[in-house]
Amino acid sequence: MMRQYELVERVQRYKSDVNEALLNKAYVYAMQKHGHQKRASGDPYFSHPLEVAAILTDMHMDEATIATALLHDTIEDTTATRAEIDELFGPEMGKLVEGLTKLKKLDLVSKKAEQAENLRKLLLAISEDVRVLLVKLADRLHNMRTLDHMPEAKRLRIAEETMDIYAPLAGRMGMQGMREELEDIAFRYVNPEAYRTVTERLAEIFQRNKGVLAEIEKSLSALFEKYTIHATVTSRQKKAWSVFRKMEAKALSFEQLSDIFGFRVVVDTVEDCYRALGAIHTTWSMVPGRFKDYISTPKQNDYRSIHTTIVGPSRQRVELQIRTHEMNKIAEYGVAAHSVYKDFGSKEGNGKTNGVAPTISKDTNAYAWLRRTIEQLSEGDNPEDFLENTKLELFQDQVFCFTPKGMLIALPRGATPIDFAYAVHTDVGDSCVGAKVNGRIMPLMTELKNGDEVEIIRSKAQVPPAAWESVVVTGKARSAIRRATKNAIRKQYSGLGTRILERAFERGGKRFSKESLKPVLHRLARKDIEDVLTAVGRGEIASSDVLKAVFPDYKDERVTVAPKQQREEGWSRIRNAAGMLFQIPGRSRRDKTKRPEDSAVPIRGVRGDLPVRFAPEGAVPGDRIVGIMQPGSGITVYPIQSPSLTAFDDQPERWIDVRWDIDENNKERFPARVSVTAINAPGSLADIAQVVASNDANIHTLSMIRTAPDFTEMLLDLEVWDLKHLNRLLSQLKENSSVSDAKRVNG
């Protein structure tokens, strides 16, 4: 186990003015707190934070970050408290250590939800101080290096979590070296057979190609010397996980892979990068479509380099990366390479030692991406959604697109114009109805490519369809669509609740206003007026309960009539007064008096602005209808003659007054179910379909109920304009020679 002086010496190698007092104090405190605790391997527990600190010294981190590594498990696993850390090391250090502490005593229903809440807490801490991320990744790396000592089930869970979250998080923050090692170790446990096979094959290929690699390296070095370019050329081999992922994604064999080996060219200046590229391309042929300039257009994690593939000296494909020394440092260490040291003071009078702590430049693309992502993902999603959307944001192999004004938008591969619209702004995504890609109108499902110019066509009347959620690939778009869908549904239920309350208050001789609900919110156990209206629309609160809450002295003195009797009286009125609109008086009381049409909730159709659906047998304009409140689902509309209504005879509070409200300028078809008995002969079904089509109706579904030697009974769910349209269709079906009988189900 590393001694105190050895840790100090490691830091002194790259930072001569090391704050020894801070490191020694953190070392002693952590060792005392962890005491005789043991790891699964049997080693003293303190060896773990010490190894985490050592990993950070390899990244040349400052002593404050290394001290945080020594302390990172004290609050979570020992008797140490945040207040004690603040007292001994200052609030700055206390905040860092707390950011690395998992949430305790989580009352959550699933392990996934617990994982999500801990991740949310970690990301929020990282967004305030990225040193939390550096310590967390070093912590995870050491845990992965010692994973063999854990039980098998736990090994697999930790490896999968590393592959899903921590490795891509390291990549998104530009820490490619850290990412590759995390992926390599996780791959070994997630898919041991594939790991073994790929690793063995890579070793064989490397042995076979050592001579070729040396020859190419020598040729490139000679070329740069000829052009007086000071460059370092090194060969590299792709990692096992990277090779396996590409083989799996593109269904390739080892023999088909052309980029297992690559060469890195490191030069002094940006100008030298382009001089080296020119020398290479004028000497060897470039492979079309394999050139990317990440210097002029850096990745979101600040990665900068030129990528090109050539047909090299041995007439085989050679992949090259050209970058400066500074770019190479950033490619390896990411945000850690942007450390800016800031003096927080030396020893204070009370003995606290704050030392020197780095901040990460807030101007870096990687850090800006992190803050934006957390802002987007912290907008009220449930834990499982947050975890899913975070993973979507982390796995991004990018394409770069442009707005018509030249603004660059970085998106993951597979992104659509919908993702593009939400990347510009949430309002743009919510109002998106179409898109032009490179000047041509294209489907919203089009997969965008590098360099595409995308123009979004908008409409204020647009509400994003829920189906978009399964199409988009960015977490921001998915979260925004889910929120917009929820808000649209809430708005529907709120509108329905408003109409129900207006009519309930009117029947009670009272005047309804939303403001009248404010004083009684506590009695209805709702936090705001919209919640009350939505709850009434969903059937969670009875309108009579709201009426009594607003007017405690109100008494309903109307005569109660049972629903069955009411329907019988209704039919009597229909027979005696042709064309009169029948309505069921609403909610818990009913009377025999005739009601004005305006006291019923208007029903326009399933595509209207209310959460309405129709009974299985359907209902069409011209039918006398009744609404049944379905808690959580809105209103189900039944024709008054439906036998299904008997099931609700003992639930009078669920009956709602409804009436048709047909928009003559925007007509729509309505559902109706019919039973057809047809002759069992070839062509009968075609005859029936022809009658339906010639009458401007539509068959939604069709099923065979019973088939006999001579006849077949069919059940057709049709879509028709109104009752007259349906009756005309039934008459023509009966007249058809292939049809024995046709009738409306429950008609």
Question: Using one digit for the tens of pLDDT, what is the confidence trace for 670-724?
Answer: 999 999 998 888 888 999 999 999 999 999 999 988 777 788 899 999 999 999 9
**3-state class of 13 per DSSP?**
coil
pLDDT of residue 454: 94
Is residue 655 within 8 Å of residue 605, measured between CB atoms? no
Q: How confident is the model at residue 526 (pLDDT cuts 50, 70, 90)?
A: confident
Work out the burial of residue 100: count CB atoms within 10 Å of its CB; fewer than 13 is exposed, 13-18 middle, 19 or more buried.
buried
Give the mean pLDDT of 165-186. 87
Give the mean pLDDT of 272-299. 91
Q: Please check whether residue 443 lies inside any domain of the structure.
A: no
**3-state class of 505 per DSSP?**
helix
For 238-242, 255-259, 444-448, 669-673, which range has the lowest pLDDT when averaged over its residues?
Answer: 255-259
Is residue 283 within 8 Å of residue 225, measured between CB atoms? no
Question: Using one digit for the tens of pLDDT, what is the confidence trace for 408-463?
Answer: 787 888 899 999 999 899 999 999 999 999 999 999 999 998 888 999 999 988 88
Q: Please check whether residue 140 lies inside any domain of the structure.
A: yes
pLDDT of residue 100: 82
pLDDT > 90? residue 389: no
**3-state class of 674 per DSSP?**
strand
Q: How confident is the model at residue 658 (pLDDT cuts 50, 70, 90)?
A: confident
Residue 602 sits at φ, ψ, to 5 deg, of -75, 135
Is residue 497 within 8 Å of residue 535, measured between CB atoms? yes
Instruction: Answer yes or no: do 115 and 242 share one domain.
Output: no
Q: Which domain holds residue 296?
A: 195-336
Instruction: Answer yes or no: do 490 and 601 share one domain.
Output: no
pLDDT of residue 341: 39
Distance CA 286, CA 293 (A): 14
Read off the CATH number of the domain in which 121 is found. 1.10.3210.10
Question: Using one digit for the tens of pLDDT, what is the confidence trace for 537-580?
Answer: 888 888 888 998 999 887 765 545 555 555 555 444 434 433 33
Is residue 16 within 8 Å of residue 62, measured between CB atoms? no
Q: Which residues contact 334 (CB under 8 A, 6 or more apart)?
A: 170, 173, 174, 175, 176, 178, 301, 302, 366
Element (H, E) at 386: helix 383-394
Q: How confident is the model at residue 191 (pLDDT cuts 50, 70, 90)?
A: very high
Instruction: Answer yes or no: do 11 and 154 share one domain.
Output: yes
Residue 361: strand pairing partners = none
pLDDT of residue 470: 86
Is residue 267 within 8 Å of residue 234, measured between CB atoms? no
Q: What is the 3-state secondary structure (H, E, C) of 126-164?
A: HHHCCHHHHHHHHHHHHHHHCHHHCCHHHHHHHHHHHHH
CA nearest neighbour of 20 among 36, 37, 6: 6
Q: What is the DSSP letter of 216?
A: H
Q: Does residue 76 have an active-site annotation?
A: yes
| CA 337 distance to own-chain centroid | 30
Is residue 118 within 8 Å of residue 384, measured between CB atoms? no
Q: How confident is the model at residue 395 (pLDDT cuts 50, 70, 90)?
A: low
For 139-148, 247-256, 631-640, 653-662, which range has the lowest pLDDT when averaged over its residues?
Answer: 247-256
Q: How confident is the model at residue 141 (pLDDT cuts 50, 70, 90)?
A: very high
Give the mean pLDDT of 632-636. 79
pLDDT of residue 365: 63
pLDDT of residue 143: 93
Q: Other CB atoms closer than 10 Å to residue 569's CB: what's the count?
A: 14
For 284-298, 583-597, 701-715, which range has the lowest pLDDT when averaged over its residues?
Answer: 583-597
Distance CA 462, CA 337 (A): 45
Q: Please check whether residue 435 lies inside any domain of the structure.
A: no
Distance CA 687, CA 519 (A): 64
Report which of residues 33 and 655 the model is more confident about: 33
Give the mean pLDDT of 286-309. 87
Q: Please check whether residue 602 lies inside any domain of the structure.
A: yes
Q: Please check whether residue 438 lies inside any domain of the structure.
A: no
Structure tokens at 451: 């360099």
Count CA atoms closer than 13 A to 611's CA, side-chain side.
29
Instruction: Answer yes or no: do 184 and 201 share one domain.
Output: no
Instruction: Answer yes or no: do 624 and 684 share one domain.
Output: no
Q: Annotated catalytic residue: which of 76, 84, 540, 545? A: 76
pLDDT > 90? residue 488: no
pLDDT of residue 393: 58
Residue 433 sits at φ, ψ, to 5 deg, of -125, -10
Give the mean pLDDT of 241-256. 78
Instruction: Answer yes or no: do 614 and 692 share one domain.
Output: no
Of 618, 633, 660, the domain-final residue:
660
| Residue 275 vs residues 52, 130, 298: alpha-carbon distances, Å | 41, 36, 19
Structure tokens at 455: 């123009």
CA nearest neighbour of 556 among 568, 567, 544: 544
Residue 267: strand pairing partners = 231, 324
Report which of residues 535 and 573 the model is more confident about: 535
Q: What is the DSSP letter of 450?
A: T
Q: How confident is the model at residue 367 (pLDDT cuts 50, 70, 90)?
A: low
For 171-175, 318-322, 376-380, 534-538, which range has the lowest pLDDT when averaged over its residues?
Answer: 376-380
Distance CA 552, CA 696 (A): 54
Give the mean pLDDT of 642-661. 83
The DSSP bridge pattern shows strands 625-630 and 698-707 to be: unpaired
pLDDT of residue 381: 55
pTM of the model: 0.56
Evaluate the CA torsion angle 375, 381, 382, 388 in order and state its sign: negative
pLDDT > 50? residue 471: yes
Q: How confident is the model at residue 321 (pLDDT cuts 50, 70, 90)?
A: very high
Q: Please check whether residue 246 lies inside any domain of the structure.
A: yes
State the total domains in the chain. 5
pLDDT > 80? residue 482: yes
Instruction: Answer yes or no: do 199 and 189 share one domain.
Output: no
Structure tokens at 549: 């809450």
Instruction: Answer yes or no: do 570 and 538 share one domain.
Output: no
Q: Please check whether residue 437 lies inside any domain of the structure.
A: no
Give the mean pLDDT of 61-87. 91
Q: What is the DSSP string of 558-579?
A: SPP--HHHHHHHHHHHHHHSTT
Structure tokens at 633: 């689902």
Phi-psi category of residue 42: left, alpha or beta, with phi > 0 → left and psi -120 to 50 → alpha:
left
Q: What is the DSSP string of 66-102?
A: HHHHHHTTHHHHSS--HHHHHHHH-HHHHHHHHHTSP
For 20-29, 346-355, 523-532, 629-638, which range has the lowest pLDDT when averaged over its residues?
Answer: 346-355
Of 550, 577, 597, the domain-final residue:
550
Q: In the chain, what percentage of residues exceed pLDDT 70?
A: 81
Q: What is the DSSP letter of 631?
A: T
For the chain, how far is it from start to end, CA to CA, in angstroms? 86
Read off the CATH number of the domain in which 709 is found. 3.30.70.260
Instruction: Answer yes or no: do 526 and 576 share one domain.
Output: no
CA nearest neighbour of 111 among 384, 317, 487: 384
Question: Using one digit for the tens of pLDDT, what is the confidence trace for 90-121?
Answer: 988 888 888 887 654 444 444 566 666 677 76
Q: Which residues contact 512 (CB under 8 A, 6 or more apart)?
A: 501, 502, 504, 505, 506
**Neighbour order of strands in the sheet with 634-639:** 612-614, 634-639, 625-630, 655-656
Residue 603: strand pairing partners = 660
pLDDT of residue 172: 77
Average pLDDT, rounded, for the chain: 81
pLDDT of residue 352: 46
Q: Angle, nearest 10°, between helix axes 383-394 and 475-507?
A: 150
Q: Annotated catalytic residue: which of 6, 62, 73, 77? A: 77
| Residue 341 vs residues 17, 240, 328: alpha-carbon distances, Å | 12, 37, 21
Instruction: Answer yes or no: do 163 and 200 share one domain.
Output: no
pLDDT > 50? residue 123: yes
pLDDT of residue 590: 36
Total residue count of the chain as it appears in this document: 747
Convert 415-446 to b/e letters by CB count within 10 Å (16 or more is b): bbbbbbbbbbebeebbbbeebebeeeebebeb
pLDDT of residue 460: 86
Q: Does residue 710 have an active-site annotation?
A: no
Instruction: Answer yes or no: do 543 and 573 share one domain.
Output: no
Question: Using one digit for the tens of pLDDT, what is the confidence trace for 512-521?
Answer: 999 999 998 8
Q: Please check whether residue 454 lies inside any domain of the structure.
A: no
Give the mean pLDDT of 228-255. 84
Distance CA 86, CA 495 (A): 53
Work out the burial of residue 122: count CB atoms within 10 Å of its CB; fewer than 13 is exposed, 13-18 middle, 19 or more buried.
buried
pLDDT > 60? residue 144: yes
pLDDT of residue 582: 33
Instruction: Answer yes or no: do 139 and 220 share one domain.
Output: no
Distance CA 40, CA 604 (A): 66
